[in-house]
Structures are given as C-alpha cells and as structure tokens.
A and B are shown apart, each in its own frame.
Chain A
Amino acid sequence: MSIPARTPVLGERNAVISGIGQSAVGRKLGRTGISLTVEAALAAIADAGLTRDDIDGVASYPGAMDSSPGMAPTGVPELKDALRLKVNWFSGGGEVPAQLGAVFNAVAAVSCGLANHVLVFRTVNESTAQTAGRRASVVGSGGSRIGGAMQYLVPFHAVSAANWVGMYAQRYMHQYGLQREHLGQIALNARRHAALNPRAIFRDPLTMDDYMNARMVSWPLGLYDCDIPCDGSVALIVSRADAAPDLKQVVRIESIGSALHGRDSWDQREDLTTMASHDAAKMMWSRTDLKPTDVDSAHLYDGFSYLCMQWLEALGFFPKGEAAGFLEGGESRIGLGGELPLNTNGGQLSAGRLHGYGYLHEACVQLRGEGGDRQVQGAEVSVVGAGGGPLGGCILLTKDR
C-alpha cells in the first residue's frame, strides 16, 4: 500500500488550532465526566476569543462507553446538549487512527467547509471511577462475554495493555539489545519535566534506582513504565483558517499522519518491532517539507515508556533498532535543554493519562511560548504522536508566522 499523493493544497493547512482549554487534572477529583468536559470546553472557547454561538461542530474520541470504568464517561451528545450547541457537523467514536482521530476528523470537516469552529474534546475520570472489582484499564472488567479482537487476548488473561505492549517490548529487547535502563530514561525525563509543571500529578524526583527497584507489572514493564489514571478533560478548537480573521493566536497544522498499513491487530502485525506509529509517521513526513531535525519539541504517547520509544523511532529521530544508543544519552537527548525536548509537561507517566490530549495541549502551549519554567526556547515546530500497537496517529504543528 502506498501513501496518498500530495495534492496541490494540503487540506490540513486550511485548519488551525485556535484555542485550548484544560479542566482541573488530578486523582480522585470526585467530578463527573460532563463537569470536567464543560470546564475544559468553556476554557477553550474563551481562549480562542469565540463564544458558544460560534461553535458549529463537535468531535470527540472514543465516544461514551462503559467497558472500562472512567475511560470514556462523556460523549458528543451529552456535551452538545449541555451547552445547547447548534452544530453543522459532529462526530464521536473510537474506530479512528487512535486518540487524535477526533482531531483529524475535525480538520477534515473544517477543511471541506462542513463547519467553521469544531470543539474537540477528550475526557477521562478513571481515578474517580475506580472501585473495588472494577479496575481502570483492565479490559472486560465488566464481566460479560466479549467479541471482536479482544476475545483473542483477554480469555488467556492477557487483560492489560501492559501485557500486549510488554510482549512487543520483550521482542524489541531480544532483537536490538534494548535494556530496561533505556526505557527508564523516558520515565526519569517525564518526572524531571513534571517538576516544572504545576498541573502535573507526580512531581517528586525519580531516580534510576527507584525505577529499577519498583515492582514489576508485566516484564519488561515495571511500575514506572506505566502511566497513571487520572481525572481531567482537554478541549481544543479546530477552526477554518479563514473563518475568523480576528483569532488572537493560532497554531498551524503542517501535516497529519493517519495511516495504518499493517494488520489492525495486536498479535498479527507483521513486524513486532514496529507499530501503527511507524505507518502514521511515514505518512505525516510525506506531507511536509519539514524534517525530523526541524522539530523543536516532541510530545509522544507514553502510556507505556516503550510506546514513547516506538514513536521516537517511527518519527525518524534515530534509525530503526537504535533506541538504546539514542536513549542512553538521557537528559542531553530528551531533556529541556537537549537535542529533542520530549514530553515537556511530564507526559502521561507523570502528568496523568489524559489519553493523548495532554500532549496536544502541551504542544500548543510550547508553540505559543506559554510554557513558563518548562518553555523550550524558540519552539516553532512540535510533533504530537498518540497511540500504541495497532492504534496510531500523529500531527505536526507549527507556530503561527
């Protein structure tokens, strides 16, 4: 399968991110999904300099569902109705190229004129929803029979993404000599940056000894390779670039990667040392003249440290198989003053599992120069990648110039 030829004008260039908003983020906030969502949505609308009446589209991932407690408490209909939005276009669901799929849909909608200002959101309240017997992020913890792809994983007690990702990580370590210490650099880096982010959840220093001595979850993934469930919502406004000339600040969309050329499956993917991220990244770079060396900050899915490493590789920050050599550089590679500042807000490992949208929010913060103590000086190009296994989507963003 080949990637699509470049059209004379790329549709994503017709769309901008005109506003961003984030609710309170934390552990056991005791808030409903819709409460968090409205807080983030109103913040994003105000940030864009718009009003509720300007919003004529809504998109979200993955749609409201109850299969994993708190993972998707709020869908598009609930927010539309709460705010009495009069929309020309809307879309919510999970059968998209990972978490950012809702953003890609919004970009497509504004680019072809179905809407002018699409409110995109992602809300979780996993921390509050966790109760005895209903553990967050354990598939099928509702108890009923299951179908679809999960039926071939869960009955064997491969119930957690830690298991599925753990097998990929083990294979890569076997094939390319990656060590746990290398993945530890991603966890330590996230914690260093979280210390600079007042809204991060875990901000105390983390040492390599802490990382190596923490309890194992699913070899080779230990406690600090896994992100933390939290409560929170992120919203952004995707606007048609020419729809509102007085937008006060925008982030430009340079290119999108939404491809999946491998099997849509955890266990059937042809090369177990790559993921959907590799397919998506290839497409994203095919739609821009920018190169990996142009990226000033990277915001890459670290639901597990290994997934973050796969995004770094997929995006071409080091050649295939050479993760160990890249990551052993530690802070000088991926720290704030390093070659490629990574997950400057603390990532999901230390700032909480906002499920892809924390990265998007942070990339916009960096490109708008609003990062405070964690600002990457002169940030003009940022990449966001979300997802793991058969799920992957990425987007290249630039400062408004």
Chain B
Amino acid sequence: MTFQPLPMVTDDNAPFWEGGEVGELRINRCRECRTWFHPPAPVCPECLSMNVGPEVASGRAKVAAYTINVQAWSPELEAPYVLAYVELDDQPDVRLTTRLIDCAPADVRVGMPVEVTFQAAEDIWLPLFRPVKGY
C-alpha cells in the first residue's frame, strides 16, 4: 500500500484512471451537444442528455493556476514540487488538478502550454503534465 491514497476505481471513473495504460486521456463527453465535462457523470451538464461517455482528449492543456508545494507531506515524494489546475485545450472550462513534472518551480507560469504524461501507480495511471517542448 502506498502512503499516498489512490482512487477507488468504479465503473464511472475507470476510463479516466485507466486510460493512461494506452496513453489516452479519457474525459467524459456528450454525444449530442459534444460538451466535455469532468468529473465523470451519467448526464450532460449542458443539454441533460444521458447519451454520454468517455472520449479521448488531446492531452494538451494550459496552466490556469499553480502552487509550489514546499512542505514535505509524504515520504514518497520529495518537495518542492509543482501542483497546478490546468485547463484542457479541448474545452478550457474543463480543468484537472495535476502535478507538473520536468518543470522547475521557477519556470511555471499561468498560461503555460503543457501536455499529459502518465505515471503508473498500482492499477491506475495518474495524468501528470509537463511543459510542451520548445515553449
């Protein structure tokens, strides 16, 4: 068992937590009005259609806000590390909380383009993000 709790996988959230196995960021989307939404739910928040399901998002996003965590909370991860709310390029009002890797704390900026990369943890894959190369 890891110190850091992992998500309890359910039918609703499995596509999100397991998509990383094949490199896919799976986000729920309405098949009628094409709205993306997160976290997963059985109904579209825009048109209330229940014809919804996971689709593969681009994996591109931009940093909406960040924090540099300095305090060591867990023996598993050395501080400092960068946490961020990122907004998906597919639809910016869909955000994920994530950790940025390959990014020095001093380099992170609001609006910075980032892309998904997955880290396996037991039976799930965490969608982490890293700066887009060349930015």
Q: Tell whether, in the assembled complex, residue A217 and residue B70 are in contact, meaning their CB atoms are under 8 Å apart.
A: yes
Select from chain A the residue with minimum beta-carbon distance to B99.
A156
- Whether, in the assembled complex, B83 has its beta carbon less than 8 Å from a beta carbon of chain A, the answer is yes
Q: Tell whether, in the assembled complex, residue A158 and residue B83 are in contact, meaning their CB atoms are under 8 Å apart.
A: yes
CB neighbors of A among B49-82 (8 A): 64-71, 73-74, 76-77, 81
Q: Which residues from B are CB-within-8-Å of A219? A: 67-70, 105
Q: Which residues from B are CB-within-8-Å of A267? A: 85, 95-97
> Distance (Å) between the CB of B83 and the closest chain A CB?
5
Q: Tell whether, in the assembled complex, residue A147 and residue B85 are in contact, meaning their CB atoms are under 8 Å apart.
A: no
Select from chain A the residue with minimum beta-carbon distance to B70.
A216
Q: How far is the CA of A220 from the CA of B70 in the complex (A)?
A: 10
Q: How far is the CA of A159 from the CA of B77 in the complex (A)?
A: 12
- Whether, in the assembled complex, A266 has its beta carbon less than 8 Å from a beta carbon of chain B, the answer is yes
Q: Which residues from B are CB-within-8-Å of A158? A: 69, 83, 97, 99
> Distance (Å) between the CB of B66 and the closest chain A CB?
6
- Whether, in the assembled complex, B114 has its beta carbon less than 8 Å from a beta carbon of chain A, the answer is no
- Whether, in the assembled complex, A401 has its beta carbon less than 8 Å from a beta carbon of chain B, the answer is no
Select from chain A the residue with minimum beta-carbon distance to B109.
A174
- Whether, in the assembled complex, A163 has its beta carbon less than 8 Å from a beta carbon of chain B, the answer is yes
Interface segment, one of A94-102, A164-172, A325-333: A164-172
Q: Tell whether, in the assembled complex, residue B126 and residue A155 are in contact, meaning their CB atoms are under 8 Å apart.
A: yes
> Distance (Å) between the CB of B13 and the closest chain A CB?
7
CB neighbors of B among A111-158 (8 A): 135, 138, 140, 142-147, 149, 151-158
Q: Tell whether, in the assembled complex, residue B5 and residue A135 are in contact, meaning their CB atoms are under 8 Å apart.
A: no
Q: Tell whether, in the assembled complex, residue A145 and residue B8 are in contact, meaning their CB atoms are under 8 Å apart.
A: yes
Q: Which residues from A are CB-within-8-Å of B3? A: 143
- Whether, in the assembled complex, A218 has its beta carbon less than 8 Å from a beta carbon of chain B, the answer is yes
Given the contacts A168-B65, A174-B110, A219-B68, A156 and B7 also touching, CB distance less than 8 Å: no
- Range of interface residues on B (Cβ < 8 Å): 35 or more
Select from chain B the residue with minimum beta-carbon distance to A153.
B97
Q: Tell whether, in the assembled complex, residue B66 and residue A152 are in contact, meaning their CB atoms are under 8 Å apart.
A: no
Given the contacts A154-B4, A171-B110, A166 and B67 also touching, CB distance less than 8 Å: yes
Select from chain A the residue with minimum beta-carbon distance to B105.
A219
- Whether, in the assembled complex, A84 has its beta carbon less than 8 Å from a beta carbon of chain B, the answer is no
What's the A-B contact tally at a CB cutoff of 8 Å? 125
Q: Which residues from A are CB-within-8-Å of B34? A: none
- Whether, in the assembled complex, B42 has its beta carbon less than 8 Å from a beta carbon of chain A, the answer is no
Binary contact readout B1-29 vs A (1 if CB under 8 angstroms, 0 otherwise): 10111111010010000000000000000
Select from chain A the residue with minimum beta-carbon distance to B98.
A156
> Distance (Å) between the CB of B8 and the closest chain A CB?
4
Q: Which residues from A are CB-within-8-Å of B126? A: 155-156
- Whether, in the assembled complex, A160 has its beta carbon less than 8 Å from a beta carbon of chain B, the answer is yes
Select from chain A the residue with minimum beta-carbon distance to B81.
A157
Q: How far is the CA of A147 from the CA of B9 in the complex (A)?
A: 8
Q: Tell whether, in the assembled complex, residue A156 and residue B97 are in contact, meaning their CB atoms are under 8 Å apart.
A: yes
Q: How far is the CA of A347 from the CA of B13 in the complex (A)?
A: 39
> Distance (Å) between the CB of B48 and the closest chain A CB?
15
Q: Which residues from B are CB-within-8-Å of A167? A: 65-67, 83-85
Q: Tell whether, in the assembled complex, residue B8 and residue A152 are in contact, meaning their CB atoms are under 8 Å apart.
A: no
Q: Tell whether, in the assembled complex, residue B1 and residue A155 are in contact, meaning their CB atoms are under 8 Å apart.
A: no
Residue in contact with A268 in the complex, picked from B1, B68, B95, B99, CB distance below 8 Å: B95
- Whether, in the assembled complex, B93 has its beta carbon less than 8 Å from a beta carbon of chain A, the answer is yes
Q: How far is the CA of A149 from the CA of B64 in the complex (A)?
A: 19
Question: What are 21 A-B pairs with beta-carbon distances under 8 A?
Answer: A145-B6, A146-B7, A152-B39, A155-B4, A155-B7, A155-B121, A157-B69, A158-B97, A159-B4, A160-B73, A162-B67, A170-B65, A170-B66, A215-B71, A218-B70, A218-B71, A219-B105, A220-B67, A265-B39, A266-B97, A267-B97
- Rank and list the top 8 A-B pairs by shortest CB-CB distance, nearest first: A166-B67, A140-B5, A151-B7, A171-B65, A219-B68, A145-B8, A167-B65, A216-B70
Knowing that A155-B6, A170-B66, A219-B69 touch, tell me 15 more A-B residue pairs with CB under 8 angstroms.
Answer: A135-B73, A140-B5, A145-B5, A145-B6, A151-B13, A156-B97, A156-B128, A163-B67, A163-B83, A166-B67, A168-B65, A265-B39, A266-B97, A267-B97, A270-B93
